[in-house]
Amino acid sequence: MPRDQNAVVLDRAGLERELDRVVATVARRGRPIRALGSIAVALRCPDAGVLLPAFDRTYADIDFAAYRRDAREISSAIVGLGYVEDRQIFIFSEGRRAIFDHPSAALHLDVFYDRLEFCHVIPLAGRLEIDSPTIPLAELLLSKLQIVKLNEKDVVDAVLLLLDHPLGEGDGDTIDVVRIANLASEEWGLWRTLTMNLEKVALLAATYRQLDEAQRTRVGQAAARLKAAIDEIPKSFRWRMRDRVGDRRQWWTDVDEVR
C-alpha cells in the first residue's frame, strides 16, 4: 500500500507511544502482543540508551510478536486503530506474518505469529505472557544474534542489551542464559550462528568510540560468558549428528524480505 506523501513521520517518542497504544488495545481484548526490533531494544535499555544519539539511529516501523490463535482478534484491534492490513502477506506467509499500514502516518506494523523466523526459528510458545510491552530479553537478544549477515544496527542493539542487563537465570530484567543455551543445544545451526555473532559483537564493540573502556570490557565479558554457556550445555543427539557435517552445508535460512 503506497504511503501518503503528506503522512506524518513519527519520532522515537511517537513510535513508543504508538507501541504502547497497540499493546494496550490488544490487551483489552484479552490477547498478548509484544514488541521486538530496535524500538523495543531502546525501550528496554534506558541506561545504555543514552548512547543511541551517538550511533545516529533512526526508527521507522514497529515489529510485534503474537500468537497465531489470536490473529483474528489482533487484526480487528489494529484495524480499529486506523491501520489497513495487507491480507496478501498473511496468506502468502500461511498465517505466520501480518503487515498493517497506517494511511496517515509513514509507519507500518509487522506482526510475527508464534515464532521469530529469520535465519533460524525461535519459538514463542508460552513466552509472550512473561513480559510487557516487549518480548522477553532472551528472545529480544536472540532476534538480533540469529541473523547470519549481521549488520551494524543489529550489533548495536546487542551491545545495548548486554550493557543494560545482566546475564542469569529467569526473565524480567535478566537475559536468561539457560533459555538461550537450551535452544542452541537443540539446533546446531542456531548454535553456530550465535557463537559466531557473539564473537563478532565483542570484536566490534571493542572498536566503538561511543563506548568508554569499561563499557567495551563489559560487553566483551558478557559476550564471552554467554558463548561459554552455549558451548558448555549438553547437546542433543540431533545437534551432534549435524555437527559432523559442520560448515560444509549451509546451516541457516536466507532471509527474504516480503517487501
Q: Hey, which residues does 36 pair with through a beta bridge?
A: 63
Judged against a pLDDT cut of 80, whether residue 54 lies above it is answered with: no
Judged against a pLDDT cut of 50, whether residue 259 lies above it is answered with: no
Closest CA to 141 of 116, 104, 106: 116
Closest CA to 74 of 22, 34, 26: 26
Q: Return d(Cα 15, Cα 45) in angstroms, integer.
A: 16
Phi/psi region, residue 42 (left: phi>0; alpha: psi -120 to 50; beta: rest), is alpha
Judged against a pLDDT cut of 50, whether residue 237 lies above it is answered with: yes
* Residue reference for cell 570484536: 203
Q: Return d(Cα 161, Cα 240) in angstroms, integer.
A: 30
Write the burial class of residue 69 (CB in 10 Å: 0-12 exposed, 13-18 middle, 19+ buried): exposed
CB 132: neighbour CB atoms within 10 A?
Answer: 16
Closest CA to 131 of 43, 11, 49: 43
Span 219-232, pLDDT tens digits: 999 999 999 999 99
State whether residue 167 is helix, strand or coil. strand
Mean pLDDT of 135-148: 97
Span 87-103, pLDDT tens digits: 999 999 999 999 999 98
Of residues 90 and 8, more confidence is placed in 90
The amino acid occupying position 25 is T
Cell of 158: 546487542
* Residue reference for cell 542487563: 165
242-258 residues labelled b (16+ CB within 10 A) or e (exposed): beeeeeeeebbeeeeee
Contact present, 114 and 124 (Cβ < 8 Å): yes
pLDDT for 11 equals: 79
State whether residue 136 is helix, strand or coil. coil
Task: Provide the residue ranges of all domains of the chain, joining segments of one domain with +.
Answer: 12-248
Judged against a pLDDT cut of 70, whether residue 1 lies above it is answered with: no
pLDDT for 48 equals: 76
Report the greatest alpha carbon distance in the chain. 56
